[in-house]
């Protein structure tokens, strides 16, 4: 594959991933405002953008490995976000006195180490075939195993804010 195409795949992957997230947020807003059909459209387009993003990622060299390798990659990405990326974002939000953003970054940083912990566990359990349900906090992204907690340990959200996977 040529250098330009490789670079363009990375650009298209990032753009489509962003579009998918943005459309989901637009869909939630439409839902909240009572526009059921428009919410459905935003969700459908988000789904489609995500199809594009995944298609590009599969075409990029060396981005998807064996499941064991992918767990390892995912684990390291969480650690990097927790240790290298969020601390500086938190620091700058603090310096500029934007407390809502500081809170969001801080909670995400804490949640990333939880994600890393779950990946580590899954690597160890791969052969044991342990079954569990993951409940995701829709406020901060914390993940609980087996059962959703009464309150999120990171952001305090109530049980009803958790989605099972
Ligand atoms: Fe994460
Ligand atoms: Fe939470």
User: Residue 7: which domain range?
Assistant: 3-59
Query: Phi-psi bin for 8: left (phi > 0), alpha (psi -120 to 50), beta?
Result: alpha
Backbone φ and ψ of 135, nearest 5° = -110, 120
Asked if residue 12 and residue 47 are part of one domain, the reply reads yes
- What is the tens place of the pLDDT at every residue in 34-75? 999 999 999 999 999 999 999 999 999 999 999 999 999 999
Whole-number pLDDT of residue 113: 95
Residues in a beta bridge with 158: 151
79 shares its domain with 110: yes
Return the closest-CA partner of residue 135 out of 125, 124, 143, 127. 143
**61 CA distance to ligand 1 centroid (A)?**
23
129 has pLDDT over 80: no
Q: What is the pLDDT of residue 127?
A: 72
Average pLDDT (93-109) is: 98
Question: How confident is the model at residue 31, as a pLDDT?
Answer: 98
Indicate the DSSP class of residue 1.
-
Could you tell me the distance, in angstroms and rounded to a whole number, from the CA of residue 96 to the centre of ligand 1? 25
Q: Do 121 and 140 fall into the same domain?
A: no
Q: Which residue has the higher pLDDT, 128 or 64?
A: 64
CB within 5 A of ion ligand 1: which residues? 78, 112, 115
CATH number of the domain bearing residue 92: 1.20.1260.10
Cα–Cα distance between 52 and 48 in angstroms, integer? 6
Model pTM score: 0.89
Structure token pair of residue 7: 């670079």
């Amino acid at each position: 594959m040529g250098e330009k195409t490789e670079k363009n795949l990375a650009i298209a992957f990032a753009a489509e991933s962003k579009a998918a997230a943005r459309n989901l947020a637009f869909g939630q807003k439409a839902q909240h405002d009572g526009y059921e059909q428009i919410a459905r459209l935003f969700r459908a387009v988000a789904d489609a953008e995500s199809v594009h993003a995944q298609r590009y990622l599969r075409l990029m060299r060396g981005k998807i490995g064996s499941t064991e390798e992918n767990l390892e990659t995912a684990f390291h990405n969480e650690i990097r976000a927790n240790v290298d990326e969020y601390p500086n974002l938190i620091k700058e939000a603090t310096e500029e006195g934007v407390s809502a953003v500081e809170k969001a970054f801080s909670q995400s940083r804490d949640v990333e180490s939880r994600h890393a912990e779950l990946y580590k566990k899954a690597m160890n359990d791969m052969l044991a075939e342990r079954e569990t349900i993951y409940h995701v906090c829709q406020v901060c992204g914390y993940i609980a195993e087996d059962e959703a907690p009464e309150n999120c340990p990171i952001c305090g959200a109530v049980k009803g804010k958790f989605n099972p996977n």
